[in-house]
Structure 1
Amino acid sequence: MGPIQALGLLSISWALWKLLRHRVLPSSLDNIPGPASESFLTGVFSKLFDTDAWAYQKSLHRTYGNTIRIHGILGEKELYTYDPKAMHHIFVKDQSVFEETDQFIQLNNLIFGPGILATLGEQHRKQRKMLNPIFSIAHLRGMTPIFYKITHKLQDAFLKKVQNGPQEIEIVSWMTRTALELVCQSGLGHSFDTLEEDTAPHPYSIAVKTLVPKVANPMMRYATAFLLPLVSGIGSASFRRWAVNTFPWKNLHDVRDVVDILHSTSVNIFESKKEAMANGGGTGLSIEEKDIMSILMKANMTASTEESLSRDELIGQMSSLMFAAMDTTSSALSRLLQLLSLHQDVQDKLRKEINDAFEAEPERGDLPYDKIVSLPYLDAICRETLRLHSPVIMARRVARRDIVLPLMVPIKGLDGREISEVYVSKGTNVTIGLLASNTNPALWGADADEWKPERWLSPLPDEVIAAHLPGVYANLMTFIAGSRACIGFKFSQLEMKVVLALLIQAFRFSPSKAEIAWKIGGIVVPTVVGGDKNTPQLPIIVEKI
């Protein structure tokens, strides 16, 4: 055997050892109860992350409690938890230890560039420090007129569709278009959509809407989990591009084409904004150039060398923020309208609150920021929907070093002993049940699985308060917690409330005859039973008030 062959064999052996050592060696998680592996290749992932995993996940919680050992890809032993104290350590106290997985960072870097979703440590801290002031309440007040301007266009589009009587409208497509345009204008100072019927969609709109289904494809998920960490650093960028182009896999090529559109559009917008600023002008779309990217670029010009962001980092923020703000908000808005269509009494009560608020305005204009965010019943409906129907139901982290993870609720080990803390070894993956925490009956009560907006009009259960859940919003884990919590959660709140206020004021929503199934993926989306399972759809009957 020659030296090259020996080096190759050594490299393969090293890679296999790195891959399999956590799977074949004894683990500190071995004493923790959990479900049997379904297969060596996928563990329990084929069930846990299935699009219809609702019942399976509930069965795990009922059977094993809130801290569980699960088997991952190729038999890897992992931890699954929604214990309040454990979540506090994962997301807040020990967040520098429990970081995003390599798969998450590398995939987001390949798709969006080195933006806030694809960075760790000091680089992430620097980006977030630059972005935080932009999502302050002061700036949201300035963005509110943009939100109303766009939502009035949506309202006009619905009025045209129902002018001759009630009509069945496919809600998801309209909520996605609206959410995208809201973040386009307020985020980029750019417009992609007039929100008119039968308007040809912009290539960027098509690309960003198809990204999640392409990446969430089961084979793509396993490939990114298993292969991406191994191959992402091989060779130069041009070599990796050649490999992607050469590999005969249509779904991979589709993702490549989507990424190309996202990147080229972001670069074009960035360069046009940069040129406009250099010439003392602006885009003319956002009010006083208060869009996120204008503010970020101006702040970056005056930042110190140590705190400033590179050109690639600035461009990386654009598609990162667009993606993060669009699908989650459109999912939440679609769910809100479906629930209101199914609960006419709640819809009527909300409409009265909104009408009374508009009538109280001196000039009968749009509700100002402070007024719309403080409407109690509107706020209760949003909170309850985001509690029970979080658009993202799980998060993933990996332990970057050995650490002890304490539990609020002890579990009984397989050997019969009580376990109040779990030793988590370096490299162990941890799945956190965000929705499981939001619907934990031990905290939220026996009616935790019921949609009851009124629960937010009274003090929360003592158990919720005592648990000290680390979430940044309303004792919920919907927007996660710590330094990687959703930076735009207040932005999302305002979007939802403005859209609901204008739509509920003008229209009555009623359920259609179609049976709807909500599917788990990167984002939870609705589909019509018996229809195209790969296309999110939610038909609702809309009637002019």
Structure 2
Amino acid sequence: MEVAQSNFDWLRSLVTSIDDPTIRLIVAGGSVLLLGSVISAVRTRGNITRLRGPPSESIIWGVAQKVPLTEQSAVQYTAWEAEYGPGVYRIPFIFGKEKIILFDARAVAHLFAMDNTVYTKTEQQRSLIRNLAGEGILWAEGDVHRRQRKVLSPAFTNAAIRALNPVFYTCSYKNTWDSLTEKGGAMIAVQDWMNNITIDIIGLAGFSHDFRTLDGDRAAAVDAFDSTGASAPSSVRNMLPLLLLVFPWLEKLPSPTKKRMNEFNNTLNELSDKIWSKLKGEGAGDVAEKSIVGRLLRAESSDKSLHLSKQEVIDEASHSLPRRDLVLMLIFPKIKVLIIAGYVTTSTSLTWALIELAKNPDAQAKLRAELNQYGDEYPSYDDLVGDKLPYLDAVTHETLRLHPSVPELTRIAGTDDIIPLSAPITDAYGRTVDRISVAKGTLVGCPIAAINRSPTFWGADALEFRPERWFEGVEKTTAKDLTGHRHLLTFASGPRTCIGKGFAIAEFKACWFFILSQLS
């Protein structure tokens, strides 16, 4: 602060030496701003722990190009952790920014616990989500997020998912791989079929709408969603979110991707209108009994704490629509969330499981033997989520461990914070510290895919697909220190734990039962 004081004395003498009052006012104003910046910079430097990390490789990108938003970045994050860790390190990020990377179990638990309060999505992340999915639970923060989560929770209880179990089997049963393979060799576009299964499940289980993609129809919503990322190379799609951190105005520029996002939104709005009409018509009773939206309607009508706020309803509509329609206005933005969060994520996980089992015939044989006990029947919901199918459960979680749908989570500190560590580390100045100080505005990242595959937590064979590890006892490894479902970070943790986790796991297991039976 002595530097700041000397600067203040110098600026004061400069201002008082100027005779012209106008110029004096301008210089005084500029001086105050300059001094504020100096004090802020000094304060920030004093409030953060300087961590070790790799050198910058680019003035523009830092090292960001080495860690694209894919699971391939796990290798690089793990290598840096071995060199600059243990536990935490920093990386030079885009345009001179820095990002703290957390590889420490206690630090990760702290980040997740404070997610939605101290740590939030960046404004650029939220803007991208708003454009794609609206102002739903994926976009919301703080009290708005807590309220939206409470609104959605009744649809994802065990009882609610149990009631949807027949839908999982109905859609899986429409898969025609058996008829295709009966005639001999067949080339099957596996990912397309997985997409068809999951989008039909989302439609029927979410809002009793049959997309009929498994019957040969091509849903407009699927085409619109698939096209949102088709207009730009993967390198551009990976770098765009980083560029928006520095140049948020780029989002406002017209582009093919933005045009396709608008088309996707328009398609879903048309779909919402159709389902809204159905709910208000003669078929409303069936929808209410069998779908997520129906359960949300029933829960909303019985719990006053879930009622609409003025900010969630268009003012003009709030004076002219019946109460049931107002409830629908709150719930229907969730359709986009259901499609986006449940469509590609589950279908990709199913495809990865098929790939891993194809490469591991012993694991495939064990899974077949376990599922053959049902013959022509199919497992109940309690069988799927209980302990009657342990190998299916192990295959499910091993797939989720190696192939999380979100490979990395990035947050920004909304205030100064202290992050505790599991064990002391050495900072960039050679000092031993057992916590790190983070300044407001700091980017903090949790490399989910890297931690899920880290030998530090999962042992020397962490990169192998080995379902048996789930029988040997994850509690015997340091992975036991990780928060999250079954010590995995795949569904995150804390107040923003994936609300559809139970739905996704039950869907995955039910689909795999029929897929494997067709490939026997």
Alpha-carbon contact 1:172-1:330 (below 8 Å) kept: yes
Distance 1:257 1:304 in 2: 38
User: 1:487-506, aligned counterparts within 5 Å?
Assistant: 487-506=499-518
| Aligned CA distance change for structure 1 residues 444 and 50 (closer, same or farther; 3 Å) | closer
Distance 1:225 1:42 in 2: 9
Cα distance, 1:167 vs structure 2: 2.2
* Secondary structure, aligned partner of 1:337: helix
Correspondence 1:256 to 2:259: yes
CA RMSD after TM alignment: 3.1
Answer with 377-386 or 433-442: which moved more. 433-442
Alpha-carbon contact 2:308-2:330 (below 8 Å) kept: no
Alpha-carbon contact 1:113-1:315 (below 8 Å) kept: no
Deviations 1:168-226 (A, max 9, x none): 32211111121121112111221223414xx3522211122233555884445544444
1:470 to 475, 479, 483: 483
What amino acid does structure 2 have at the position aligned with 1:486?
Answer: C
Partner of 1:44: 63
Correspondence 1:457 to 2:476: no
Cα distance, 1:439 vs structure 2: 2.3
2:79 to 59, 62, 67: 59
Correspondence 1:85 to 2:106: yes
Partner of 1:409: 423
Partner of 1:188: 207
Alpha-carbon contact 1:403-1:426 (below 8 Å) kept: yes
| Aligned CA distance change for structure 1 residues 321 and 23 (closer, same or farther; 3 Å) | farther
Partner of 1:337: 354
Partner of 2:297: 297
Partner of 2:491: 479
- In structure 2, runs of 5+ residues without a counterpart are 1-25, 314-328
Partner of 2:140: 119
Alpha-carbon contact 1:372-1:497 (below 8 Å) kept: yes
Deviations 1:278-328 (A, max 9, x none): 3453386x6x63211222234334553774363565332111221111111
Alpha-carbon contact 2:202-2:342 (below 8 Å) kept: yes
Cα distance, 1:435 vs structure 2: 1.9
* Secondary structure, aligned partner of 1:168: coil
Name which one, 1 or 2, has greater alpha-carbon Rg: 2
Deviations 1:502-540 (A, max 9, x none): 111221xxxxxxxxxxxxxxxxxxxxxxxxxxxxxxxxx
Deviations 1:1-51 (A, max 9, x none): xxxxxx9xx99xx9xx99xx9899747556311111121211111111165
* Secondary structure, aligned partner of 1:500: helix
Distance 1:107 1:444 in 2: 34
Distance 2:382 2:246 in 1: 46
Deviations 1:454-503 (A, max 9, x none): 11113224343652x221x1111111001111111111111111111111
What amino acid does structure 1 have at the position aligned with 2:458?
Answer: W
| Aligned CA distance change for structure 1 residues 94 and 378 (closer, same or farther; 3 Å) | closer
2:221 to 201, 204, 208: 204
Partner of 1:139: 160
Partner of 1:517: none
Distance 2:330 2:189 in 1: 37
Distance 1:124 1:454 in 2: 38
* Secondary structure, aligned partner of 1:258: helix
| Aligned CA distance change for structure 1 residues 193 and 463 (closer, same or farther; 3 Å) | same
Partner of 1:535: none
Distance 1:320 1:50 in 2: 20
Alpha-carbon contact 1:444-1:461 (below 8 Å) kept: no
Answer with 175-184 or 294-303: which moved more. 294-303
* Secondary structure, aligned partner of 1:449: coil
Partner of 2:197: 178
User: 1:442-453, aligned counterparts within 5 Å?
Assistant: 442-453=456-467
Alpha-carbon contact 1:83-1:437 (below 8 Å) kept: no
* Secondary structure, aligned partner of 1:169: coil
What amino acid does structure 1 have at the position aligned with 2:280?
Answer: A
Partner of 2:439: 425
Alpha-carbon contact 2:69-2:408 (below 8 Å) kept: no
Partner of 1:522: none
Partner of 2:453: 439
Partner of 1:514: none
Q: Percent identity?
A: 29
* Secondary structure, aligned partner of 1:450: coil
Cα distance, 1:79 vs structure 2: 0.4
Deviations 1:83-135 (A, max 9, x none): 11111111115651011222221111122111111111111111100111211
Cα distance, 1:431 vs structure 2: 0.8
Alpha-carbon contact 2:155-2:293 (below 8 Å) kept: no
Distance 2:359 2:341 in 1: 28
| The structure with more strand, counted as a fraction of residues | 1
Alpha-carbon contact 2:196-2:213 (below 8 Å) kept: no
Distance 1:27 1:290 in 2: 57
2:170 to 142, 149, 169: 149
Distance 1:228 1:466 in 2: 35
- In structure 1, runs of 5+ residues without a counterpart are 1-6, 235-239, 508-544
Distance 2:233 2:43 in 1: 28
Distance 1:340 1:269 in 2: 37
Partner of 2:123: 102
Partner of 2:395: 381
What amino acid does structure 2 have at the position aligned with 1:266?
Answer: L
Distance 1:377 1:104 in 2: 38
1:169 to 175, 184, 188: 188
2:150 to 115, 129, 152: 129
Distance 1:26 1:293 in 2: 50
User: 1:362-381, aligned counterparts within 5 Å?
Assistant: 364-374=376-386, 375-381=389-395
What amino acid does structure 1 have at the position aligned with 2:415?
Answer: R
Q: How many residues are treated as equivalent by the alignment?
A: 467
Answer with 457-466 or 484-493: which moved more. 457-466
TM-score (norm 1): 0.78
Distance 2:154 2:231 in 1: 33
Distance 2:500 2:268 in 1: 19
What amino acid does structure 1 have at the position aligned with 2:259?
Answer: R
What amino acid does structure 1 have at the position aligned with 2:496?
Answer: R
What amino acid does structure 2 have at the position aligned with 1:277?
Answer: L
Distance 1:283 1:43 in 2: 57
| The structure with more helix, counted as a fraction of residues | 2
